[in-house]
Amino acid sequence: MAVETDFIVIGSGVAGLRSSIALAESGARVTVLTKDKASESNTEYAQGGVAVVLSDDDDAELHEEDTLVAGAGLCDVAAVETLVTEGTKYIKQLIDWGTEFDREGGKLVFTQEAAHSRRRILHAHGDSTGKEIVRSLISRAGVEKKISLLPFANTESLIVAEGRCVGVRYLDPILRAPREVFAKAVILCTGGAGQLFLHTTNPPVATGDGMAMAYFAGAEMADMEFIQFHPTALSVEGAPRFLLSEAMRGEGGVLRNSSGERFMDRYDERLELAPRDIVSRSIVAEMRRTGSRNVFLDMTALDAEFLRHRFPKIDETCKAFGLDIAKDLLPVSPASHYCMGGVRTDLWGRTTVPGLYAAGEVSCTGVHGANRLASNSLLEGLVFGARAGEAALTDSPESKVQSPKSRPPDAGTRDMGLGTQVSTAVRKRVKRVMWERVGILRDAISLKRAIDEFEQIARSNLSVSSRNFVTLASLVANAALWREESRGGHFRTDFPEQKEMFRVHSIQSRASGEISGAETINFIAEKRSAETNS
């Protein structure tokens, strides 16, 4: 059974909700599909906050400069300019919609995080910023009667007809049967792929489905090798890899090794406030040097009442595992956290497939370069989510929903069985290989072995979800093998230096079957403009 709507949004994090609102405000019918409850996304787990230029001693140029420095020479300047200049408008809008950021004496409280030159990070309820933003966006979306939320709907493939994305195929959460929904355009806001790795701070839904679906639909992928590993995930046996926010180091927390020694001065003059990739590699190096499984985050020099007020969720979680953040050294080690790469888009969320848009972590606008600046991701979801919604409206005012009867079979999925979950065997095998061979420290031998293993898995009889998972792992590993240098979140022990020849984005597509380099992500808008004028 197929249904029709005006626009489909896949994902209900900050980017998905913001793009849905932009679409619905015009009167368009919007169907939002999400494979869990509406609030379950990477956004809800974002503790650190959202970076924005609102304080008196800050300006957009400083925020831009900090972002470019963190991006290790690979940020697209136009994308960064868009983020930092438009971000202020969208954060003010969030406040108008009832988002409750932390205040003192009625004034917004700004904190500082690693690699930021100013205190520009807004928080909500201490360390629950993402959760508060999702709450306010869901509330705002509820005002729009044209938005239909469909939770627990696992989207497995995009439907492409005559070169255009016209809909999606998903599993009906009630009848447990395949369904198709058709629209003028589809916006991917499916988040990242942290679950590719054995250790991750991401929720179980972050399996990268949207990236794989876009790849099979013919979209170009960019910068897949750049994975950000968060330095400080709670490392307690039996506990999830719960994120201990960047803000804890921003507030004065220090890292100590198994002997209780502060060690970051051995690795970087910025100490604990060095960019995440440097801190993560420093922790790995220190663990190897001392033969230990973790290091420790020390917050004991700070006031206990301040810590419990500033980090209530972290305090509560640590207590559940017998740790007092004000008195104990907190065992931590790195875990996969964020994908800088993704579906290649222009500044308006347009992918290389007409009718398909992407925003948030699933996309790659070039705004993060080789290493995301802390707390820029929520801002990216807001800014580019809104822009993707606006572009979808602008690009398809006369478009009609593709008739299901005239749609040719989807060659990418017609011979494959539906499966709502990645099989346990595939998941375990891929996650371990990714962590051991495509992790924080990489080299050609390990990467080639990983690719060979993924090819072997892919020859099995896989469900769509399992195929998507393995394909995405292979895209990351192949891009990492191609980039014979170290830059940002990508570190090759056999090529430890940056190379000017690799100051380009890696581009992969199903059609080309090989990896190429491109100097900028944002060529697509110019190309589309030229096509329109002709």
3-state secondary structure 182-209: ECCEEEECCCCCHHHCCCECCCCCCCCH
pLDDT of res. 531 = 43
Per-residue pLDDT at 358 exceeds 80: yes
CA atoms within 13 A on the CB side of 45: 21
Percentage of the chain modeled with pLDDT above 90: 73
| Per-residue pLDDT tens digits for 479-523 | 999 999 999 999 999 999 999 999 999 999 998 888 998 888 765
**Cβ–Cβ under 8 Å, residues 458 and 150:** no
* DSSP category for residue 262: B
Tokens 């697209």 map to which residue?
76
Task: Give dist(CA 226, CA 130) in Å, integer.
Answer: 23
Catalytic pick among 18, 169, 241, 276: 276
Q: What value does the mean pLDDT of the chain take?
A: 89
pLDDT of res. 404 = 53
Question: What average pLDDT does range 295-308 have in this prediction?
Answer: 97
**Cβ–Cβ under 8 Å, residues 519 and 504:** yes
**154 CB-near residues (< 8 Å, 6+ apart):** 35, 170, 171, 173, 420, 465
Torsion of Cα atoms, 149 then 152 then 153 then 156, to 10°: 140
Q: Is 173 exposed, middle or buried (0-12, 13-18, 19+ CB in 10 A)?
A: middle
CA nearest neighbour of 189 among 367, 369, 41:
41
What pLDDT band is residue 391 in, cutting at 50, 70 and 90?
A: very high
What are the chain's domains? 2-153+211-221+340-406 (3.50.50.60), 230-335 (3.90.700.10), 410-503 (1.20.58.100)
Phi and psi (nearest 5°) for 188?
Answer: -85, 125
How large is the C-alpha radius of gyration of the chain? 22
* DSSP category for residue 423: -
Task: Give dist(CA 344, CA 351) in Å, integer.
Answer: 6
**129 CB-near residues (< 8 Å, 6+ apart):** 46, 47, 48, 49, 50, 101, 122, 123, 378
Whole-prediction pTM value? 0.90
Question: What average pLDDT does range 30-44 have in this prediction?
Answer: 70
Name the maximum alpha-carbon separation found in the chain. 69
**Cβ–Cβ under 8 Å, residues 114 and 246:** yes
Per-residue tokens: 64:
């831009």
| Per-residue pLDDT tens digits for 431-484 | 999 999 999 999 999 999 999 999 999 999 998 889 999 999 999 999 999 999
Per-residue pLDDT at 525 exceeds 80: no
pLDDT of res. 289 = 95
Least confident of 68-82, 261-275, 386-400: 386-400
The three-class DSSP label of residue 273 is: helix
Please name the amino acid found at residue 314.
Answer: I
Beta carbons within 10 angstroms of residue 427's beta carbon: 18
Per-residue pLDDT at 192 exceeds 90: yes
CA atoms within 13 A on the CB side of 87: 28
Task: Give dist(CA 359, CA 431) in Å, integer.
Answer: 25
Per-residue pLDDT at 259 exceeds 90: yes
**Cβ–Cβ under 8 Å, residues 464 and 421:** no
**Cβ–Cβ under 8 Å, residues 188 and 356:** yes
| Per-residue pLDDT tens digits for 316-344 | 999 999 999 999 999 999 999 999 999 99
Per-residue tokens: 338:
């964020």
CA atoms within 13 A on the CB side of 341: 27
Q: Does residue 293 have an active-site annotation?
A: no
Per-residue pLDDT at 407 exceeds 60: no
The more confidently predicted of residues 428 and 239 is 428
Question: What average pLDDT does range 354-371 have in this prediction?
Answer: 97
Beta carbons within 10 angstroms of residue 401's beta carbon: 18
